[in-house]
């Protein structure tokens, strides 16, 4: 039932995987609570209520993983105060491993406090207080990372549509912005005339720039590792590469047609296609053609360091 509601077989695999991990966490907390039985008391009833709300959000027709994760975090923190000593130590060891892997100074400090409580065999309440603070920090960091990833994905989606729109406008502006000498230097098009030459030049340059972007993305991602949190952003970045490559190639075409690039001759189709491919493949090559420093147009030159006297 959960798989069907999550649309696992309808292509929405990211959302399905994310919710299934939360469902697994829900089952873990439910099992811990069931082992406590009647000893859970009133706090156990509150934990069960949080788990029920989280389950409703995770198995809804349109699941809300963020809200479900918040209720699971609340249940996890409350459950810490009910765990017996052996389970308390086991749970603390798992949380310590997560905190040690985090570069956040607050996580490192929480890990040191928790380890000190576990190593000194302090009373259970002190261990529970340190573990509850550590669990809260882990869940808060996960929620913040999820929100940041969602915002980045939304920004990349907007950037993709903006780039696509600019590419269409630039394709339409090429016949107005490029000189006639740029089209007459190319082989005659099947349609004949300036319109056919325009289609040949624009299509060839766009394809070469996009091919350069695709090849660059493939070379960078073939050995790169991805996680569930970075999957969407890395996929959108890969999809943006051919689009940006085509944009850069068209810009080079217009500039080369007006002989604004000394390194590229607009009347040499082979050299222009090579420059379009290279610019789509390498941002550094494109900036080098424009003779713009990577830090910006107005970046001042660094003064030479004086030599020390012998």
Count the Cβ atoms, other than its own, within 10 Å of residue 102: 15
For 1, 2, 76, 87, 143, the CA distances from 31, given in Å and listed in that order, are 20, 19, 12, 12, 23
Is pLDDT of 249 > 70? Answer: yes
At residue 295, φ and ψ (nearest 5 deg) are: -80, -15
Res. 226 pLDDT band, cuts 50 70 90: confident
Residue 230: the pLDDT is: 83
d(CA 245, CA 251): 10
- Is 19 exposed, middle or buried (CB count within 10 Å of its CB: 0-12, 13-18, 19+)? buried
Tell me how far apart the 2 most distant CA atoms of the chain are, in Å: 89
Res. 227 pLDDT band, cuts 50 70 90: confident
CA-CA-CA-CA torsion sign (171, 172, 178, 179): positive
pTM for the structure as a whole: 0.72
For the chain, what are the domain ranges? 2-146, 178-290
Cβ contacts of 149 within 8 Å, gap of 6 or more: 229, 230, 232, 233
Is pLDDT of 25 > 80? Answer: yes
d(CA 236, CA 162): 13
Q: Which two tokens stand for residue 209?
A: 């720039």
CA angle at residue 143 from 117 to 23, to 5 degrees? 90
CA angle at residue 87 from 85 to 90, to 5 degrees? 110
d(CA 203, CA 250): 10
- Is 222 exposed, middle or buried (CB count within 10 Å of its CB: 0-12, 13-18, 19+)? exposed
Res. 239 pLDDT band, cuts 50 70 90: confident
Helix axes 193-221, 231-257, angle to 10 degrees: 140
Res. 16 pLDDT band, cuts 50 70 90: confident
Instruction: Please identify which residue in the block is written with the tokens 């610019």.
Output: 279
pLDDT in tens, 148-197: 988 998 999 999 999 899 999 888 887 777 776 666 666 655 555 666 77
Q: Cα-atom radius of gyration of the chain, to the nearest Å? A: 29
């Amino acid at each position: 039932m959960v798989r069907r509601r999550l649309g696992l077989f309808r292509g929405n695999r990211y959302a399905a995987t994310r919710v299934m991990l939360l469902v697994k966490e829900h089952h873990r907390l439910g099992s811990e609570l069931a082992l406590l039985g009647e000893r859970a008391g009133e706090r156990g009833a509150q934990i069960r209520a949080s788990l029920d709300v989280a389950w409703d959000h995770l198995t809804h027709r349109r699941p809300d993983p963020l809200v479900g994760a918040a209720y699971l975090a609340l249940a996890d923190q409350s459950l810490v105060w009910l765990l017996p000593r052996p389970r308390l130590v086991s749970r603390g060891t798992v949380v310590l491993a997560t905190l040690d892997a985090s570069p956040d100074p607050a996580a490192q400090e929480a890990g040191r406090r928790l380890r000190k409580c576990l190593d000194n065999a302090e009373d259970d309440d002190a261990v529970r207080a340190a573990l509850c603070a550590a669990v809260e920090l882990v869940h808060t960091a996960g929620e913040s990372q999820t929100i940041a990833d969602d915002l980045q994905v939304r920004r990349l989606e907007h950037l993709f549509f903006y780039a696509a729109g600019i590419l269409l406008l630039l394709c339409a502006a090429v016949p107005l912005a490029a000189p006639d000498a740029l089209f007459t230097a190319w082989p005659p098009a099947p349609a004949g005339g300036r319109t056919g030459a325009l289609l040949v030049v624009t299509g060839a340059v766009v394809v070469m720039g996009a091919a350069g972007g695709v090849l660059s993305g493939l070379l960078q991602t073939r050995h790169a590792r991805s996680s569930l949190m970075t999957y969407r952003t890395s996929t959108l970045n890969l999809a943006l590469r051919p689009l940006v490559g085509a944009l850069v190639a068209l810009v080079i075409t217009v500039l080369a047609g007006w002989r604004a690039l000394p390194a590229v001759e607009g009347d040499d189709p082979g050299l222009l296609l090579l420059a379009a491919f290279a610019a789509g493949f390498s941002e550094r090559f494109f900036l080098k053609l424009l003779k713009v420093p990577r830090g910006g147009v107005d970046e001042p030159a660094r003064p030479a360091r004086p030599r020390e006297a012998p």
